[in-house]
Amino acid sequence: MSSIGKTNPKPRVVDNAAVGELYANKVISTTFDGGSLILTVGVTRVLPNRIDDVPDPSNMAVPSVHVTGRIALSPAAAVEAINGLSGLLQMAQAQIAQAQALAINPTANKVAS
């Protein structure tokens, strides 16, 4: 049987609602151990000394970063993640450029009547 004209079907995604989600606002480290790319992520936390204290930015210590998770990706999965993130970055940059162009020339998006 010939493989000409055939495409590889994309695998079906099976969701698992029990998988926990994690939040990160800081990438702590990225390492490659020869077999996988390992990302360690965390959250920056600024805590007051007491419950009712209002944080005073001029008198605050350097915030701490707490590890919230690690993900280990195979080289193939790392490439897929990089490609996906690159696509998102390009989309965001295009939207920013469009918004800046509209801010400079607000009539550029209006249709002539």
101: left (phi over 0), alpha (psi -120 to 50) or beta: alpha
pLDDT digits (tens, 9 = 90+) for 72-109: 999 999 999 999 999 999 999 999 999 988 888 777 66
Strand arrangement, sheet containing 37-45? 26-32, 37-45, 64-73
96 vs 47 pLDDT, higher one? 96
Q: Is there a contact between 54 and 48 (Cβ–Cβ < 8 Å)?
A: yes
Convert the pLDDT of each residue in 15-44 to its tens digit. 999 998 999 999 999 999 999 999 999 999
Of 36, 43, 50, 103, nearest to 67 (Cα)? 43
